[in-house]
């Protein structure tokens, strides 16, 4: 989960494998990390985060600037998948003051696709990560801002400007709100499934998942085009 969050937010990192990397014990001793603490993230070579949430990682890396809760935005977009990013690009390009609120990372479910072939302008296809990265860069180019690992908890629409309630008692005021929260993955009805998500059970097929599954037998569940693309991609890379 931590590696996926960093990768999808375009953050470089070094991964230490306890079983194969040299000098692991020296590193654990230096930062006073016990095996029971794992996984840990050593942020900026100073701060040790033990099994951190995405929001804790975001705060440590300084993803988000402080919110001016008195400032009224022209447009707040809840969700930064393809629809949310498109809304931000078109709004910001017209000179609107745009803020996106994203609970995980830009790109949504599309960002985990190994190849998207039915998106306008890419006749030979494009990976979901690359598509999301281009859209994110384009939105920033026009001045749109984004909050990463923040959740929109509720809306107050009984008067204008409207208000979006975010984590930690934060508020954002906006003249217009677009809800682009997308869809959720359908999950298998299996006992203890949550304990294996991100550690054997994945909801995407990118180079990250391919590395994690290298040399292993992989089962793709689903019969749609995304499942077919995932099967072909993993067969070629693992």
Paired tokens of 210: 């391919």
Instruction: Please provide the size of the chain in residues.
Output: 238
Average pLDDT over residues 141-160: 94
| Predicted confidence (pLDDT) at residue 189 exceeds the cutoff of 80 | yes
pLDDT tens for residues 38-92?
A: 888 888 878 888 889 999 999 999 899 888 889 999 999 999 999 999 999 999 9
Rounded Cα distance, 2 and 139, in Å = 25
- Counting residues of the chain whose pLDDT is more than 70, the rounded percentage is 100
Strands 72-78 and 171-179: parallel
pLDDT tens for residues 195-222?
A: 888 888 888 888 888 888 888 899 999 8
Per-domain residue ranges of the chain: 2-61, 72-179, 193-237
Rounded Cα distance, 169 and 99, in Å = 17
In this predicted structure, what is the pLDDT of residue 71? 95
Task: Decide if domain 72-179 falls under CATH 3.40.50.970.
Answer: no
Q: Which residue has the tokens 């194969």?
A: 20
* Long-range interactions of 132-137: CB distance < 8 A, separation 24+: 132/8, 132/82, 132/85, 132/106, 132/107, 132/108, 133/10, 133/106, 133/107, 135/82, 135/85, 135/86, 135/89, 135/106, 135/107, 136/80, 136/85, 136/106, 136/107
- Tell me which DSSP letter residue 66 carries: P
pLDDT tens for residues 93-121?
A: 999 999 999 999 999 888 878 788 888 89
In this predicted structure, what is the pLDDT of residue 238? 65
């Amino acid at each position: 989960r931590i590696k996926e969050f960093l990768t999808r937010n375009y953050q470089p990192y070094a991964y230490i494998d306890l079983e194969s990397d040299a000098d692991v014990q020296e590193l654990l001793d230096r930062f006073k990390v016990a095996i029971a603490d794992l996984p840990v993230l050593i942020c900026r070579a100073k701060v040790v985060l033990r099994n951190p949430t995405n929001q804790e990682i975001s705060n440590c890396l300084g993803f988000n600037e402080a919110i001016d809760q008195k400032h009224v935005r022209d447009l707040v977009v809840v969700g930064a998948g393809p629809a949310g990013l498109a809304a931000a690009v078109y709004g910001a390009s017209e000179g609107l003051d745009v803020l996106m609120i994203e609970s995980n990372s830009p790109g949504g479910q599309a960002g985990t696709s190994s190849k998207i072939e039915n998106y306008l302008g890419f006749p030979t296809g494009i990976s979901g990560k690359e598509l999301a990265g281009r859209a994110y860069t384009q939105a920033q180019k026009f001045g749109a801002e984004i909050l990463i690992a923040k959740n929109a908890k509720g809306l107050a629409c009984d008067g204008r400007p409207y208000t979006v309630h975010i984590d930690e008692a934060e508020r954002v005021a906006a003249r217009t709100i677009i809800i682009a929260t997308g869809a959720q993955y359908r999950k298998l009805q299996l006992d203890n499934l949550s304990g294996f998500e991100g550690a054997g059970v994945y909801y995407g097929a990118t180079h990250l998942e391919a590395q994690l599954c290298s040399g292993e037998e992989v089962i793709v569940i689903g019969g749609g085009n995304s499942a077919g693309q995932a099967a072909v991609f993993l067969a070629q890379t693992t």
